[in-house]
A = this chain, B = another copy of it.
Amino acid sequence: MENTLDTLFNPRSIAIVGATDKKEKVGYAIFKNIIEGGYKGKVYPVNRRIDSLEGYRVYHSITEIPDEIDLAIISIPIQYVPQLFDQLGEKGVKAAVVISAGGRETGEDGKKIEEEILRKARMYGIRFLGPNCLGFANTIIDLNANFGLDKPLKGKTAFISQSGALFTAIMDWANQEQIGFSYAVSIGNMADIDFGDLIDYLGGKDEVETILIYMESLPEASKFASSARRVIRNKPVIVAKAGRSETGQKAAVSHTGAIAGKDFLYSALFKRTGVVRSENVLQLFDLTEAFSKQPVPSGNRFVVVTNAGGPGVMAADQFDRWGIKPATLSRSTMEKLSSFLPPVWSHNNPVDIIGDASPERYRKTLEVLFDAGEVDGIICILTPQYMTRPYETAQVFHQVSTGKDKPFYAVLMGGEKLKEARYFLETHGVPVFDTPEEAVDTAFLTYQYTYRKALVEEDSLKVERGKNYQAVKEIIDRKLEDREYLLTEYDTKRILSLYGIPVNSTRNATTEDEAVRFAREIGYPVVLKINSPDILHKSDAGCVITGISDESSLRQAYNRIISNARKYKKDARIYGVIVEEQVEGDFELVIGSSYDKIFRQYMMFGMGGTMVEFFKDVSFDFPPLSGVYAHQMVESTKIYRLLKNGFRDKQPVEIDKLVDILIDVSRLVVDFPQVRELDINPLLVRGSQIYAVDGRIRLESVDQKNTILV
């Protein structure tokens, strides 16, 4: 597979099927782009209707070409592509780019043609890009095999775009900004080659130091996940994906005709696979500049140096938006700085070295900070004040930062007066930003790469079956046989309990006397609830009674629940009345698992209770969870701070226990892909006491594993 992609991107010979002399046609543009781009391999235009094109002989069919063909670039109406693939097969062509539009983006018929093309491709062992793509560029061999792009500049970045329009727009902008690439790929509909393939392939290339992706939707998350997790160990993968909001997602779906999957799951996937998510397309390039020109920060303790207070404040504000604090300077660092800075310097981070800062003052300050153990990276701001010597200061920035193991980002705020300085830095390996905010975003996101990569490296995806797998399997099989897909609280808790998740004592009584006996064993006060697969909103039906503190109230409650159940639904199947230990907690949490067409099984953790959707304080990840990511899930919520430290009369919670419960739930859903939905709400927590107090499971008949990670 690797080899075929190599043939595609590094062909010795190319046939352009649909090359034409009609200048407004795509087939002409591609031909022109390739021959004018300086490609050294052989180029064979193919068109049944003409004999020559710009001095090249035109072949009427690909099979006529008296040479081996590595790559076919196809720009003919899509309905002819399947039969063309027969010719490719005959000719022994192993790689193709299908430019032609008219695939799945146009509806069912187009989708069928794509499937037909794919079937043929598989038959002949052909790998192909597209359909509905603009082609690609490989600047290493001067191959500009696309339409719409002026020749890109050379560089060490690979860019993959799912949108043709943005492919052109971004590459056009990059040309203007003098940003270079080794590879640029318009990925199209991904009928065959997809993100996972390209990440794997480009990830293995020395000429690629960073992979940038503009993504609209994933057709399939599993392959992306495994290739990203592998590649990010060596180089950053940065994705800009639109469609965060509901309106945005709706627009995205209507635009791509694809199932988009929930946006928050994209974010969860990127986190889990070590991918950095860029907020917008321009930020992609800020990050590229940072990654390609500077080391990655080993931590998030950044320092800001500035010759103007205001921009320092802006930087501090922006760190706060990301939820991190700038580095705290050690006493020794402060003393070193005070030894040569004017007495009015800020004595704090941001390090304001005052408006009359000379290049020398910048130099000394930066030297101290590069040496400071408490600093992981430096953002250095320059504004053009009356005493400022911008060009010399820029030279100092370059000299001091070269060869250091900490990243250095310059912010030059101004225009004409800073032009020379800016140009000097841009051409000397120092990233330059126009605003403190951009520099801080970049610093934070490069740090995020460091952080996420460490998590991926630390993570282990070992999956062990639950100890009581067999017992749960029997329950679930039985329920599925009975077509009872929505499990009652009682059955849900039995299953949870078998997988080690603590539940409050919960017994099913089928007679009043049994209820009395259970209550005595459990200890008063107790809660009674109906146990019926036909009554799921138990409270609404008047079938939950709490605070029962003695036998006579219990008997009364028992009968009231039975009679309310009958009233609520005459023919409801009643399995009994549940007698539960009444527990109190400091926090109501929720643990859930659900299913998405693209992302398969996923998990949720956060603030629970009836207002879950109002608080929206939840985090998401995918099973199986190791301790690393289960902990991440807990840590990523806002309530975490309160859980960890307690709050007023609420005790601190034993976090490790929560983490273990998440791991157990993840094990349960991996062992049983039939568990389509699972809800534990509330998970009642006080200190080290944790109980699943209510829950439900929805089953579906599925056999195979259903997670994107294993």
Task: List residues of chain A with CB under 8 Å of any chain B CB.
Answer: 26, 29, 106, 147-148, 150, 163-166, 168-170, 172-177, 214, 216, 242-252, 254-256, 280-282, 307-314, 316-317, 319-321, 325-326, 344, 346-348, 350, 352, 355, 383-386, 413-419, 434-435, 437, 610-611, 614, 638-639, 642, 647-648
Sample (27) of A-B pairs whose CB atoms are under 8 Å apart? A106-B344, A150-B416, A164-B385, A165-B309, A168-B414, A172-B384, A172-B416, A172-B418, A216-B313, A242-B311, A242-B313, A244-B320, A245-B321, A246-B320, A247-B316, A247-B320, A251-B312, A251-B352, A254-B346, A255-B309, A255-B312, A255-B352, A280-B435, A281-B435, A610-B648, A611-B647, A614-B647
* Chain B residue at minimum C-beta to C-beta distance from A107: B344
Instruction: Give bound CA distance, A275 to B163, whole Å.
Output: 39
- Chain B residues whose CB sits within 8 angstroms of the CB of A311 once the complex forms: 165-166, 169, 242
**A142, chain B: closest CB distance, angstroms:** 19
Q: Are A164's CB and B316's CB within 8 A?
A: no
**A48, chain B: closest CB distance, angstroms:** 23
Q: Are B385's CB and A148's CB within 8 A?
A: yes
Given contacts A177-B415, A313-B243, contact A308 B165 (CB under 8 A): yes
Q: Are B350's CB and A251's CB within 8 A?
A: yes
* Chain B residue at minimum C-beta to C-beta distance from A246: B320
Kindly report how many copies of this chain are found in the complex they form together: 2
Instruction: Give bound CA distance, A293 to B371, whole Å.
Output: 51
* Chain B residue at minimum C-beta to C-beta distance from A320: B245
**A109, chain B: closest CB distance, angstroms:** 13
Q: Are B163's CB and A242's CB within 8 A?
A: no
Further contacts, 10 of them, CB under 8 A, given A165-B308, A165-B309, A280-B314: A26-B386, A163-B308, A169-B383, A169-B413, A173-B414, A174-B415, A175-B416, A245-B321, A247-B317, A248-B314
> Which of A214, A256, A350, A383 has its CB near the most chain B CB atoms (within 10 A)?
A383
**A384, chain B: closest CB distance, angstroms:** 6
Instruction: Give bound CA distance, A261 to B470, whole Å.
Output: 64
- Chain B residues whose CB sits within 8 angstroms of the CB of A168 once the complex forms: 383-386, 414, 417
* Chain B residue at minimum C-beta to C-beta distance from A176: B415
- Chain B residues whose CB sits within 8 angstroms of the CB of A319 once the complex forms: 245, 247
- Chain B residues whose CB sits within 8 angstroms of the CB of A251 once the complex forms: 309, 312-313, 316, 346, 348, 350, 352
Q: Are B355's CB and A164's CB within 8 A?
A: yes
Q: Are B245's CB and A326's CB within 8 A?
A: no
Given contacts A29-B386, A415-B173, A647-B611, contact A245 B280 (CB under 8 A): no
- Of B316, B326, B384, the residue contacting A169 (CB under 8 A) is B384
Q: Are A172's CB and B415's CB within 8 A?
A: yes
Q: Are A415's CB and B175's CB within 8 A?
A: yes
- Chain B residues whose CB sits within 8 angstroms of the CB of A313 once the complex forms: 216, 242-243, 248-249, 251-252, 255
**A272, chain B: closest CB distance, angstroms:** 22
Q: Are A308's CB and B383's CB within 8 A?
A: no
Q: Are B386's CB and A317's CB within 8 A?
A: no
- Chain B residues whose CB sits within 8 angstroms of the CB of A416 once the complex forms: 150, 172, 175-176
Q: Are A163's CB and B247's CB within 8 A?
A: no
Instruction: Give bound CA distance, A642 to B352, whole Å.
Output: 46
Given contacts A165-B309, A216-B309, A355-B165, contact A147 B320 (CB under 8 A): no
- Chain B residues whose CB sits within 8 angstroms of the CB of A248 once the complex forms: 313-314, 316-317, 320
- Chain B residues whose CB sits within 8 angstroms of the CB of A242 once the complex forms: 310-311, 313-314, 317
Instruction: Give bound CA distance, A106 to B343, whole Å.
Output: 10
Given contacts A175-B416, A245-B321, A310-B242, contact A348 B383 (CB under 8 A): no
Q: Are A316's CB and B177's CB within 8 A?
A: no
Instruction: Give bound CA distance, A255 to B349, whole Å.
Output: 11
Instruction: Give bound CA distance, A175 to B164, whole Å.
Output: 36
**A523, chain B: closest CB distance, angstroms:** 22
**A140, chain B: closest CB distance, angstroms:** 22
- Of B172, B316, B386, B614, the residue contacting A245 (CB under 8 A) is B316
* Chain B residue at minimum C-beta to C-beta distance from A163: B310
Instruction: Give bound CA distance, A352 to B251, whole Å.
Output: 9
* Chain B residue at minimum C-beta to C-beta distance from A243: B313
Q: Are B174's CB and A317's CB within 8 A?
A: no
List 8 A-B pairs, minimum CB-CB distance, nearest first: A176-B415, A255-B309, A245-B320, A165-B308, A248-B317, A242-B313, A248-B316, A172-B414
Instruction: Give bound CA distance, A294 to B604, whole Å.
Output: 46
Q: Are A414's CB and B355's CB within 8 A?
A: no
> Which of A175, A251, A282, A434 has its CB near the most chain B CB atoms (within 10 A)?
A251
- Chain B residues whose CB sits within 8 angstroms of the CB of A255 once the complex forms: 309-310, 312-313, 346, 352
Instruction: Give bound CA distance, A316 to B244, whole Å.
Output: 9
- Chain B residues whose CB sits within 8 angstroms of the CB of A164 once the complex forms: 355, 385
**A612, chain B: closest CB distance, angstroms:** 11
Given contacts A172-B417, A320-B246, A415-B174, contact A309 B355 (CB under 8 A): no
**A380, chain B: closest CB distance, angstroms:** 15
Q: Are A254's CB and B348's CB within 8 A?
A: yes
- Chain B residues whose CB sits within 8 angstroms of the CB of A172 once the complex forms: 384, 414-418
* Chain B residue at minimum C-beta to C-beta distance from A321: B245
**A297, chain B: closest CB distance, angstroms:** 18
Q: Are B383's CB and A317's CB within 8 A?
A: no
- Of B26, B29, B165, B642, the residue contacting A310 (CB under 8 A) is B165
- Chain B residues whose CB sits within 8 angstroms of the CB of A321 once the complex forms: 245
Q: Are A309's CB and B246's CB within 8 A?
A: no
* Chain B residue at minimum C-beta to C-beta distance from A134: B386
Instruction: Give bound CA distance, A280 to B416, whole Å.
Output: 20
* Chain B residue at minimum C-beta to C-beta distance from A540: B649
**A168, chain B: closest CB distance, angstroms:** 6
- Chain B residues whose CB sits within 8 angstroms of the CB of A310 once the complex forms: 163, 165-166, 214, 216, 242, 255
**A621, chain B: closest CB distance, angstroms:** 23
**A29, chain B: closest CB distance, angstroms:** 7
- Chain B residues whose CB sits within 8 angstroms of the CB of A214 once the complex forms: 310
**A382, chain B: closest CB distance, angstroms:** 9
Instruction: Give bound CA distance, A180 to B147, whole Å.
Output: 40
Instruction: Give bound CA distance, A322 to B292, whole Å.
Output: 34
Instruction: Give bound CA distance, A313 to B414, whole Å.
Output: 32
